[in-house]
Structure formats: structure tokens, C-alpha cells
Amino acid sequence: MDVHSPSSRAGAAAAVTALLLCTSLAAADAASSAQAKTTTTAVTSGSWGSVATTSTAAPYASAPLILNMTTAADTQYFNLVNTGTFPLAGVALEATTSRGTAVIEACSTTWNELLHVCPLGSIAVAATSGAGAATYAVGLPTGSTVRLRARATSGQRNFTLTVSVNVTRTQARAASTTGS
């Protein structure tokens, strides 16, 4: 290509002019605006949830708990764990059986799991199989655990008891307004 031809020189001149124009416009724009910017601020949302589990430490499976009730008066213990970041005022417990019936019970003190008694306390039914989901009003601070008992009540054996736990937004802490 002949860069010394009149058309090439004209093109080059136009390009230089355009470049200078762009540069001067950018400079003018930069000079006529101002900004004030924060450093990065982390914002996170919390969570609410609970699981029924026989595990004693995290991680906990995100699945219903299935217990095999092998004897007519089978009694088993499991944990109800607050796996979210908010304290809970309660959960919805649902017990279903493959056949037969069972109840889920809570002790107001601490279970004696060898003798199957609630020493110096009272036993409350948290859920009954076949009754659908029932609200179990128990205060569960973040990361806390409540020990529950599943007990076969129909005299049948060799069936499965499935324990599901639902937590709704209203069972987690209420909304708040804060400032600092």
C-alpha cells in the first residue's frame, strides 16, 4: 500500500483528529464529575431449618429420619437439631409409619435412655403418626439440640417410622430494625 498517496494522508489525518477529539472529550468528562465510593461491605442473609437425626455432630443429612421399629414396644432416641442461623420458636413435626402406630415424645428434663424414663420431669407428645404435621413448640437456640423419643404404640413390629421436620419463616426470629 502506498501510504504516501493523498488519500492515505487524508485518512491518517482524520484518524489523528478523531483520536485527539476523543482524548479531549474524555478529559473534559472526567473533570466534570465526582464520586464518593465506599469500601466493600459484606451483607449476608440468615437461614432457618431443623433436622431429625441420630447423628450427634454435623454434617447432618437434609433428609427425613427413618427409624426401623423392630419390636412391639421399640423405643429409640434421636436429635432434633437447629441447623439454621436463627433461633427457632418451634418446628412442625410429622410422623408416618409403614404400618402400625408410633408417637414422638419430649422430656421436660433429660431422658434416662437406659431406663426409658424422664426423671423428675414430664413427658409430652410432640407428634403422633397418622396425625399429619403438628407444631412442636420448643425453643431451639441456634445450633442447639433437643433429644426426642420415638415409641411404637400399636404392638406391631418390623415397620418403619419416618420423621419429617418443617420450619416456616414465622418459626424463626421476627424481623427487626437496627442501626449503627
Partner 1 sequence: MSGLATRSASRPNPRLIAAFAVGAAGLAITGGGVYAALNATASNTTAQNATSGILSITMTNNGTGFSQGVSNLAPGDVVNRYVTLTQGADLAGKDLTLAVSDGTATPTLLTTSATKGLRVTVTQCVGGDWTVTGAGSCTGTGATTSILATNVPLSSLATTPAALASAVAAGSTVKLQLALSLPEQTETTVNGARPADSIQGLSSALTWTFSETQRTATTTGS
Q: Is residue 60 part of the contact set for partner 1 (CB under 8 A)?
A: yes
Report the distance separating Cα 153 and Cα 76, nearest Å: 12
Helix or strand (DSSP H, E) at 52: strand 50-53
Helix or strand (DSSP H, E) at 149: strand 145-152
Q: Which of 1, 4, 7, 36 binds partner 1 (CB under 8 A)?
A: 36
CB contact at 8 A, 60 and 123 = no
Q: Which stretch binds partner 1 (CB under 8 A): 18-26, 57-65, 103-111, 150-158?
A: 57-65
Nearer residue to partner 1 within complex by CB, 118 or 172: 172
Nearer residue to partner 1 within complex by CB, 7 or 38: 38
Phi/psi for 24 (5° steps) reads -70, -35
Q: Is residue 120 part of the contact set for partner 1 (CB under 8 A)?
A: no
**Residue 171 per-residue DSSP state:** G
Interface positions with partner 1 (CB under 8 A): 31-52, 60-64, 83-86, 164-169, 172-180
